[in-house]
């Protein structure tokens, strides 16, 4: 049973969500009793539930509730007749930990050169398919699309465009989507009736209705982009037709019930299908893929100079922040952390965090912004790359890697920032998570210094045993007091708030160190388990993780290394090395360790 994750949002129970999803696959009016799924389908059998598109739940809290609901149901003793498969793009760090370590995880690996050629040969299906595929992959290299084509979806899009036009668009990832959407519109025009024929159904309602229909068609592209932006930002209660009917540019010109509730809605649905940007699926009209929705949403958010500037402020400018505490006032840029000054946060608002999934949308916005204001956009990106710390460097480096139009100067600045963090000497106050994130990003962009950084950690794990100031509650209290200084001058009694700093500070430091260590171990563990990275990097991550672990974790770490050695994505040398490391850890399991 295919259950889109959005069906799990707002449903009273998991069985209600499953019933609603399955019913939508049948007919629009079908209703199923949730109790149907409370029992096994037959004796000895189980329901197989594929929960797809978890990343398409835009609200992070709602997404986590969906995952907790599934995990809780799996732990329920009455749920033995279910088996779940959960599919998502780029889960945030720790997002899937709710399922525990016993639940296996699989990663869809990017295509290599041979697989791209094999896909192309199968796609074109002509007598000289192998030669055509070879010409296609050669063109990918000449146009700079070869790395983008390692993503299966984009590889298919490029195959389709090459098959239709015999060439590829020149430019970046956004240009591929622009050409793909143009292709969808052209194909829809060929498949469906003409606009004039669509208007025929409105003629019986008079010239005013026909004129309103033409006006709706004129505004349809911008209306679809507006709907995509609202859907991406969490508005899921309205169907595309309901949304369109509520817009001034597409509202029904009459209160006649037959026209408003039937003929006009049929006209709107047909108009959406003729656009080529939505397809009819069980449960209603949907965009062909979430990234198509993101591209259209970005077009809406950058539709004019004012809107584009506002979106850049939200995406870039409002993410500059400072670590908490009066004595930790260095300015940095963060995808996930917010300004610690309460007054600044109230004034500027708190932006939603950017996770790996949102990087796709951000790339579309940046490309559109560079077309409008290349100098201003590049100035913003360069500052993020140079002064934004490890998160700023990661943001820019991954944007360049994913096909966003990032100038070489800015990419080089981001790389320099990442290398400085990943290989910084122990005297520099770089937290463990920052150092591991820098190494992780360097590995993602195929820079060997990521492996070197992990080797340094394995040799001297003390360099990542650094307290993260964001984990110090006393520093957050310092920030609050600092913001309230003007009030304290007029109301000295408020100074009593500083008393907890005196008594709580030492205990808070111990607590913060423990949290910082757990976060660092989690970051190393995620890198260690990621099959996208080559064997040498994962082995070094495992060595760094074992070196940083404490005495209680040695036996479990030895077991983890031995299990990783069975991974078929590792080469023979890597597996042999992990088995050796596992054996050594078992022998050292009773020895004291410096990290307590």
The predicted structure's pLDDT at residue 346: 47
d(C-alpha 93, C-alpha 309), whole Å: 30
d(C-alpha 262, C-alpha 87), whole Å: 37
Residue ranges with strand state E in 127-225 = none
How far out from the chain centre does Cα 32 lie? 33
- 424: which 2 tokens? 């910084």
| pTM score, whole prediction | 0.83
Ramachandran bin of 101, using left for φ above 0, alpha for ψ from -120 to 50, beta for the remaining angles: alpha
The predicted structure's pLDDT at residue 511: 76
pLDDT digits (tens, 9 = 90+) for 244-285: 999 999 988 887 777 777 888 888 988 898 889 998 876 678
The predicted structure's pLDDT at residue 337: 64
pLDDT tens across the length of the chain (596 residues): 888 888 888 777 788 888 888 877 776 556 777 778 878 888 888 889 899 888 888 777 888 888 988 888 887 766 778 889 999 887 777 788 888 878 888 888 889 889 999 999 998 877 777 888 888 999 999 888 898 999 999 999 999 999 888 888 887 899 999 999 999 988 887 776 556 666 677 777 788 888 888 899 899 999 999 999 999 988 777 889 999 999 999 988 887 777 777 888 888 988 898 889 998 876 678 899 999 999 999 999 999 999 999 999 989 998 888 766 545 556 788 887 654 444 444 445 555 666 666 899 999 999 999 999 999 999 999 999 999 999 999 999 999 999 999 999 999 999 999 999 999 887 667 888 999 999 999 999 999 999 999 999 988 888 988 887 776 655 555 555 555 555 555 555 555 555 554 445 555 667 778 888 888 888 888 888 788 888 888 888 888 887 786 433 455 566 666 666 666 666 677 677 777 777 776 666 555 544 43
The sign of the torsion formed by the CA atoms of 565, 570, 571, 574 equals negative
d(C-alpha 261, C-alpha 238), whole Å: 15
The predicted structure's pLDDT at residue 558: 65
d(C-alpha 395, C-alpha 205), whole Å: 54
Long-range Cβ contact pairs of 582-587 (< 8 A, separation 24 or more): 582/558, 583/558, 585/546, 585/554, 585/555, 585/557, 585/558, 585/561, 586/554, 586/555, 586/558
Spatial contact of 275 and 320, defined as CB atoms under 8 Å apart: no
For residue 49, the surrounding DSSP H or E stretch is: strand 47-52
Residue 241: exposure state from Cβ atoms within 10 A (0-12, 13-18, ≥19): buried
The predicted structure's pLDDT at residue 508: 62
d(C-alpha 294, C-alpha 220), whole Å: 17
For residue 376, the surrounding DSSP H or E stretch is: helix 374-387
């Amino acid at each position: 049973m295919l259950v889109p994750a959005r069906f799990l949002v707002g449903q009273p129970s998991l069985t209600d969500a499953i019933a609603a999803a399955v019913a939508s696959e049948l007919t629009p009016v079908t209703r199923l009793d949730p109790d149907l799924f409370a029992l096994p389908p037959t004796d000895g059998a189980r329901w197989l539930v594929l929960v797809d598109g978890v990343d398409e739940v835009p609200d992070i809290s709602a997404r986590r509730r969906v995952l907790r609901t599934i995990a809780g149901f799996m732990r329920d003793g009455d749920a033995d007749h279910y088996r779940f498969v959960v599919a998502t793009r780029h889960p945030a760090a720790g997002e899937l930990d709710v399922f525990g370590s016993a639940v296996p995880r699989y990663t869809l690996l990017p295509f290599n050169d041979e697989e791209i050629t094999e896909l192309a040969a199968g796609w074109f299906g002509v007598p000289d398919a192998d030669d055509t595929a070879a010409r296609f992959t050669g063109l990918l290299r000449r146009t700079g699309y070869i790395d983008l084509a390692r993503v299966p979806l984009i590889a298919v899009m490029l195959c389709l465009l090459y098959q239709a036009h015999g060439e590829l668009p020149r430019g970046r990832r956004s240009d591929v989507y622009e050409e793909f959407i143009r292709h969808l519109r052209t194909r829809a025009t060929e498949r469906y009736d003409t606009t004039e024929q669509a208007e025929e159904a409105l003629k019986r309602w008079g010239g005013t209705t026909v004129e309103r229909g033409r006006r709706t068609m004129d505004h349809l592209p911008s209306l679809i982009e507006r709907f995509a932006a609202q859907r991406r930002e969490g508005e899921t209660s309205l169907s595309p037709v309901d949304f369109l009917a509520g817009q001034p540019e597409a509202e029904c010109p009459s209160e006649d019930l037959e026209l408003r509730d039937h003929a006009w809605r049929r006209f709107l649905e047909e108009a959406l299908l003729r656009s080529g940007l939505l397809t009819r699926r069980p449960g209603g009209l949907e965009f062909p893929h979430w990234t198509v929705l993101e591209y259209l949403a970005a077009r809406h958010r950058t539709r004019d100079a004012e809107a584009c500037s506002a979106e850049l402020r939200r995406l870039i400018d409002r993410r500059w922040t400072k670590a908490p505490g009066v004595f930790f006032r260095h300015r940095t840029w963060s995808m996930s952390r917010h300004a610690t000054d309460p007054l600044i946060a109230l004034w500027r608002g708190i932006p939603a965090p950017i996770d790996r999934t949102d990087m796709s949308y951000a790339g579309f916005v940046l490309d559109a912004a560079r077309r409008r204001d290349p100098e201003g956009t590049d100035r913003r990106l360069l500052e993020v790359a140079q002064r934004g710390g490890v998160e700023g460097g990661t943001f820019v480096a991954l944007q360049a890697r994913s096909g966003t139009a990032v100038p070489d100067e800015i990419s080089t600045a981001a790389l320099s920032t990442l290398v400085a963090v990943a290989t910084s000497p122990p005297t520099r106050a770089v937290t463990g998570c920052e150092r591991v994130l820098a190494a992780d990003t360097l590995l993602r962009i195929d820079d060997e210094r990521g492996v070197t950084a992990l080797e340094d950690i394995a040799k001297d794990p003390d360099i990542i045993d650094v307290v993260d100031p964001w984990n110090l509650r006393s520093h957050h209290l310092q920030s609050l007091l600092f913001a309230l200084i003007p009030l304290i001058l007029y109301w000295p009694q408020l100074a009593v708030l500083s008393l907890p700093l005196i008594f709580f500070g030492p205990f808070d430091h111990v607590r913060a160190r423990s949290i910082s260590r757990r976060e660092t171990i989690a970051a190393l563990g995620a890198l260690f388990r990621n099959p996208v990275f080559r064997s040498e990097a994962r082995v070094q991550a495992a060595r760094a993780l074992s070196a940083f672990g404490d005495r209680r974790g040695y036996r479990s770490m030895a077991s983890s290394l031995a299990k990783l050695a069975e991974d078929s994505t590792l080469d023979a040398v890597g597996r042999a090395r992990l088995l050796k490391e596992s054996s050594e850890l078992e022998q050292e399991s009773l020895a004291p360790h410096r990290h307590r």
